[in-house]
Amino acid sequence: MTEGKCKAEVRAVTRCSDPAYCKAIERYNAQGLAGLRDLRHTNPGAPQLLSDAQMLLLAQAIRVDFDQGVLWDGAKV
Q: What is the pLDDT of residue 12?
A: 81
Q: What is the dihedral of CA 10, 11, 12, 17, to 10 degrees?
A: 170
Model pTM?
0.46
Give me the pLDDT at residue 6, please. Answer: 80
**Quick count: other Cβ atoms within 10 Å of Cβ 39?**
9
Each of the 77 residues of the chain gets a pLDDT tens digit; together they read 556 778 788 778 878 888 888 888 899 899 999 988 988 889 999 999 999 999 999 999 999 999 999 999 989 88
Q: Give me the DSSP letters along 29-57.
A: HHHGGGGGS--GGG---SPPSS-HHHHHH
Spell out the domain ranges in the chain.
7-38, 48-77
The predicted structure's pLDDT at residue 47: 94
